Amino acid sequence: MRLKTFKFGIHPKDMKELSHDCKFEEMPTGEKVYIPLAQHLGTPASACVEVGDYVKVGTKIGEASSYVSCNVHSSVSGIVEGFVLRENAMGKRIRHVCIANDGKYEEDFLPPLENPTREELVARCKECGLAGMGGATFPTHVKLENKNPIKALIINGSECEPYITTDYRLMIDKSQEVLEGIRYLAKAIGAPEIWIGIEANKDDAIEEMLRVTAGDNSIKVFALKTKYPQGGEKQLIYALAHQKVPAGGLPSDLGFIVLNISTALAMYEACALGKPLFSRYMTVSGKGINRPANIWVRFGVPFVEIVDYLGYRDDVQKVISGGPMMGVSLHSFMPVVTKGSSALLLLIEEEIRAVDPTTCINCARCANVCPMGLMPMMTDALVLKNMIKEIKPYNPLSCIECGCCAYVCPAKRPLVQSQRLAKKLIRERKL
């Protein structure tokens, strides 16, 4: 199979060997869960339960408060104890619903859908609170409700971030359910074709997806070159369709919608089982964790319970929620599992690069790897001088924050932070 790919990018060590053979195991849930009302992109959900209410697994506890918002559901059965402010992984204090787990796990699911129409599928996706589970957490129903004619649903099976092996395991261990979810998604957007892109370092996942899709001519499985950020929406579309999403445009403008493997599984569970989104599969890895694992875990479980369950070394230097390229560093284990928690990484000294930045030496390596064709060194230099107006031609708004530039920079410049700051200032100053 000829490998497809995009221009530029990097080849970080993938470190997937730590967890790729770890089959999913259920993470035990403690006496309390803390479920944030904001665990998706857009406006937070509004609480629709009160202190003292009895809720079941799947009971709606937060109602989407706008179009770009998601419903939130309980992950346990028990009594709502209160509303507490806790830090999320981004360090922001937000409202969490605290529920005392009665350990009975009584369920409050919806009836399964039989031969659903497009409208019923979108409505189910919305009711069950689906959000992109690769980490972006964009409300899935908003993507499904797009009005452009769609040529193909693109399924992102690349899982290009180092360490993470959740989607890989789902393609191996739950291929049939994933495929059913993909079919529901394709029907919901009226896509005549389905393209599944998987990086070549997951050859057994490619084989499994080829096996389960054999005989269905509407589905094509493509092997992608193992390169970061192969799973970026724009990079995936370029690799498979050789088309560029214009700056400020959307994949649907070109007739594509991109969703990932975990989201497809969530769609299967919502439609076939009536299960609202209250749990996820995630990878816990890094050399700092005693027992790397792929776990099934309920939302609202604090990370501290996960690391206590799997054990960790006392020389951990860095903790990351998500992958090492696009995830966020944590300063405590108190944040909880949410819709976007694709991974939890505990890294030791040999896995990180803790050095202070020095002056740019104008080597242009950052520009040579940028998959968006940007010049990160220019943005960085101009941000330092607070010359925000002058940054605009360097187009930081197109930056996908993949981190390739910072990864290769010999001066260890904080190039992603510069891009983020530039975006923020351009928007704030309405340039």
**Residues found near ligand SF4 in the complex (CB under 6 A):** 360-366, 370-372, 374, 376-377, 380, 399-405, 409-411, 413, 415-416, 419
> Among residues 109, 44, 413, 162, which one has the least CA distance to residue 273?
109
Distance CA 87, CA 334 (A): 7
CB of 402 to ligand SF4, least distance (A): 4
Residue found under tokens 């599984």: 265
178/402 with CB nearer ligand SF4: 402
337/360 with CB nearer ligand SF4: 360
Distance CA 323, CA 345 (A): 7
Distance CA 214, CA 216 (A): 6
210/375 with CB nearer ligand SF4: 375
CB of 83 to ligand SF4, least distance (A): 36
CB of 237 to ligand SF4, least distance (A): 15
Identify the DSSP state of 248: T
18/422 with CB nearer ligand SF4: 422
Please, are residues 139 and 41 in contact by the beta-carbon 8 Å criterion? yes
168/407 with CB nearer ligand SF4: 407
* H or E, element range at 407: helix 404-408
CB of 236 to ligand SF4, least distance (A): 14
CB of 261 to ligand SF4, least distance (A): 23
Question: What proportions of the chain, in percent to the nearest 5, are helix, strand and coil?
Answer: 30, 25, 45
Dihedral over alpha carbons 97, 327, 15, 332 (to 10 degrees) = -60
129/403 with CB nearer ligand SF4: 403
CB of 416 to ligand SF4, least distance (A): 5
